[in-house]
Amino acid sequence: MSRVLLVCGGTGGHLAPGIALAQALDARGRRPLLLVSGKAVDARMLARYPRLEFRRGLGRPWAGGVAGKLAFLAVGAAAVLDAFRLMLARRPRSVVCFGGYLSLAPALVARVLGIPVHVHEANLVPGKAVRLLARVARTVHLPRGVNLAGLPFSRLRTGGFPLRAEMGPRPRAESRAALGLPADGPCLLVVGGSQGASALNAWARAAWPALAARGVHLLCLTGPGGADETLRSGGAVARLLPFCDRMPEAYGCADLAVARSGAGTLAELAACGLPAILVPYPTSADDHQLANARARERLGAAVVREERDLAGLEAEALRLLADDAALAALRAGQARAHADNGWDNLLDEVLRDLTAPAGEGAR
C-alpha cells in the first residue's frame, strides 16, 4: 500500500486525469487516495471505479463581494486544518494536484510538511490555481509550448492529459446497442463536458428536425438536470441523456461531435478518433477553451465555431457528415493529436517519490 494523494474533482476535467493516474498506479501495486469534491459529477464518475479509494475534500471558489470573500477565507481555513489532519494520518510521500480550488489547501500543507507536490495543467492557458501552486510545486506539468512566468526550466515538465485506461475506440454496433441507437445511419454527438452546455442543448433540440430529415441520429449529453428522453422521427432516433458513464461508447456511436473544448474532452475525442466541431465555452477562465480549440484546428483535428455564430452550425454539421473525405482528414488530425498526448513523466515523478529515501522532502 503506497501513500499517494491525488487532489482532483469538481469537474470532469479535473477528476478524469486523477482517475487515470490512479489506475496507472493501481496497476503497479500502488493504491492512491483521491481527494474529490462533494459534487454529484464526482460521485457518479467514481461509482464506476470501486477499486479506487476516495475522500471528500474542502474548498470553495473565490467569489466577489465581501460575503463571498469571507466565505472563501472561512472555508479555506477549514480546508487547511482538514488537510493537516489527513496528511498527518496518511503520511503521503507524493501529492499531485490537478488544479481548481480543491487543490489549494492540500498543496500548501504538503509544502509546509516537506512533501513533494506535482501540479498538472492540461489547458493551454493555465488557471489561477495552477499559477499559484506552481510556486510551491516540485514539478509543473504543462502542455507542449506552454510555460509560466518565473517558473524555472528545471521544474517544468511537458505532458498531455492522463486518459483513463478504458478510453479508446469502440465498435460502432456495440456502442449504439449500449446507448439505444440504431446500428445504421450517421450519428451526431453533442457534448458540453461533465456539466453540460445549455447553449448546445438548445441548439441540438432546434436542429433535431433537420437532422432527422437527413436520417441523422442524435446523442446529446445534456448535463446534470438536463433532459432525459428519446425522440423519434421517421427512422431517426435522438437520445438525450443528463449523464453518461460510458463515454467510450458515446464517442463510438458517432461520426461527428459538436463539443466544448476543455482539455479532457479534446483528449478523449482524439483517443477515440472522433472528428469534431468545437464550440468553446465563451466565458471560460482566461478564454482557455478558445485557445485549446484553435490549437486543434491548426492541427487539422477539428473545426471551430464560436458560440456567437451558431446560426451556421446545423449546415456545417450536415455538410461534414455527408463528406467522407473531410471526416477522414479530421480523423487523421485527431490521430496526430493523440500521438502527441504523452503523460508518462507525471507517473514517473510519483513513482520516483515513492522510491526516494524517506524524509527527502520537497526540493
Percent of the chain with pLDDT over 90: 69
Shared-domain flag, residues 138 and 192: no
| Orientation of helix 12-27 relative to helix 263-271, angle to 10° | 50
**Whether residue 189 has pLDDT greater than 60:** yes
Shared-domain flag, residues 187 and 255: yes
| DSSP designation for 188 | E
Please indicate, yes or no, if residue 134 is contained in any of the structural domains.
yes
Shared-domain flag, residues 104 and 249: no
Shared-domain flag, residues 134 and 197: no
What's the domain count of the chain?
2
Shared-domain flag, residues 99 and 207: no
- Confidence band of 12 (pLDDT split at 50, 70, 90): confident
| Orientation of helix 313-321 relative to helix 324-339, angle to 10° | 90
Please indicate, yes or no, if residue 360 is contained in any of the structural domains.
no
- pLDDT tens for residues 230-253? 999 999 999 999 888 899 999 999
pLDDT for position 75 = 76
pLDDT for position 363 = 47
**Beta carbons of 143 and 122 less than 8 angstroms apart:** yes
Please indicate, yes or no, if residue 361 is contained in any of the structural domains.
no
What is the arithmetic mean of pLDDT over 133-151? 90
Shared-domain flag, residues 193 and 149: no
Residue 63's nearest CA partner among 50, 54, 73, 53 is: 73
- Confidence band of 356 (pLDDT split at 50, 70, 90): confident
- pLDDT tens for residues 293-333? 999 999 999 999 999 989 899 999 999 999 999 999 999 99
**Beta carbons of 106 and 34 less than 8 angstroms apart:** no
**Whether residue 131 has pLDDT greater than 60:** yes
- Confidence band of 267 (pLDDT split at 50, 70, 90): very high
In angstroms, the CA 183 to CA 120 distance is 39
- pLDDT tens for residues 47-73? 999 999 999 988 777 666 767 767 767
In angstroms, the CA 22 to CA 16 distance is 10
**Beta carbons of 219 and 186 less than 8 angstroms apart:** no
pLDDT for position 125 = 85
Residue partners of 160: CB distance under 8 A and separation at least 6: 122, 143, 267, 340, 341, 342, 343
**Beta carbons of 256 and 93 less than 8 angstroms apart:** no
Show the beta-strand stretches assigned E in 153-249.
156-158, 187-191, 217-221, 229-233, 236-241
In angstroms, the CA 106 to CA 94 distance is 11
- pLDDT tens for residues 155-175? 999 989 999 999 999 999 999
* This prediction's pTM: 0.90
Residue partners of 190: CB distance under 8 A and separation at least 6: 200, 201, 203, 204, 218, 219, 220, 221, 257, 258, 259
Please indicate, yes or no, if residue 143 is contained in any of the structural domains.
yes
Please indicate, yes or no, if residue 270 is contained in any of the structural domains.
yes
- pLDDT tens for residues 13-35? 889 999 999 999 999 999 999 99
In angstroms, the CA 235 to CA 213 distance is 9
Q: What are phi and psi of 233, to 5 degrees?
A: -150, 110
Shared-domain flag, residues 82 and 58: yes
Shared-domain flag, residues 254 and 178: yes
The DSSP bridge pattern shows strands 117-120 and 139-142 to be parallel
Shared-domain flag, residues 182 and 72: no
Shared-domain flag, residues 187 and 55: no
Residue 273's nearest CA partner among 260, 257, 258 is: 257
Lookup: cell for 242: 443528463
Percent of the chain with pLDDT over 70: 94
pLDDT for position 163 = 95
**Beta carbons of 48 and 23 less than 8 angstroms apart:** no
**Whether residue 341 has pLDDT greater than 60:** yes
- Domain residues for the domain of 113 are 4-163+341-355
Shared-domain flag, residues 61 and 107: yes
What is the arithmetic mean of pLDDT over 96-122? 93
Please indicate, yes or no, if residue 363 is contained in any of the structural domains.
no
Shared-domain flag, residues 16 and 142: yes
**Whether residue 362 has pLDDT greater than 90:** no
**Whether residue 195 has pLDDT greater than 80:** no
Residue 121's CATH number: 3.40.50.2000
pLDDT for position 123 = 87
